[in-house]
Amino acid sequence: MPGIEAEAVQLRTDEAVGGQVQVRVTDTGTEPFTVTSVAIDSPGFAPLPDRAVSAAFEPGRTIDLPASYGEAVCDRAAEPAAARLTVVRPDGRAEALRVPLAAEVLGRIHGERCAVRAVLAVADVTVGSLAADGDAVTGTLTLTRADGDDRPVTVTRLQGNVLYDAVATTDLPRTLEAGESTLEVLLEFTMARCDPHALAETKQPYLFLLGLQVGDDDEVPADLPLDQAQRDELAALVDRACA
């Protein structure tokens, strides 16, 4: 659109928050304007309401505006995408604009979300029985096969993060074989670091990479599913192990 360009980018803070990107808007015209709302408009994501913002642009200025994206719609591509912007001109006139959005990052996010969803359609993944065990937290990862799909599903790897080590106490890979309804893998979490810098600066302490593979398909990286009570159990481990 003449005078305005937009691109979707994902910063580390967006990854930590989850469910959002930045709409990087540039005033490529000759006049100032103010943006008062922003939203992602992509066929590959369920629409969400506009987010109120207040950003004053001058010619040549670029500002990142946070915008949430909805649930992935996996039978549609993420592009072509647009940014929905409410723009107020210098004379006070407000316009609702749909600005073409360079959205390679949305395509990547869409692909990741839909790949995980396809795996979970074959076997659901849950974490249970998370409990304190001295300077560790132990639990069980369970794969439960869905009806109608007998393909094998393999847990290929489990990866910790800056703050926590996470391991399967039974060696990986482990496979939910054809004809089996459930697979259980024992888990153990311990502290990787207790220094103040790590404790203060870790942005995603409960994000653990879980590798999953259906049949001979490529591995799909997924997030280990932890509810709030399980996250609280890991938080209590910090108090025990790092005291």
Spell out the per-residue pLDDT of the chain, length 243, in tens.
Answer: 679 999 999 998 898 888 999 999 999 999 999 999 999 999 999 999 999 999 999 999 999 999 999 999 999 999 999 999 999 999 999 999 999 999 999 999 999 999 999 999 999 999 999 999 999 999 999 999 998 899 999 999 999 999 999 999 989 999 999 999 999 999 999 999 999 988 888 888 999 999 999 999 999 999 999 999 999 999 999 999 998
- For the entire predicted model, the pTM comes to 0.87
Structure tokens belonging to residue 11: 């910063």
Taking a C-beta distance cutoff of 8 angstroms, is the pair 24, 5 a contact? no
Taking a C-beta distance cutoff of 8 angstroms, is the pair 152, 180 a contact? no
β-bridge pairing 4-9 and 94-102: parallel
Q: How many CA atoms lie within 13 A of 196 on its CB side?
A: 0
Fold held by 121-241:
Immunoglobulin-like (2.60.40)
| Domain limits, CATH 2.60.40.1230, in the chain | 121-241
**Collapsing DSSP states into helix, strand and coil, what is residue 15?**
helix
DSSP state, 200? H
Long-range contacts of 112-120 (CB under 8 A, 24+ apart): 112/221, 113/71, 113/72, 113/74, 114/72, 114/74, 115/220, 116/212, 116/220, 116/222, 117/72, 117/74, 118/74, 118/214, 118/220, 119/153, 119/212, 119/213, 119/214, 119/220, 119/222, 120/222
4-113 to CATH, choices 1.10.1060, 1.20.120, 2.60.120, 2.60.40: 2.60.40
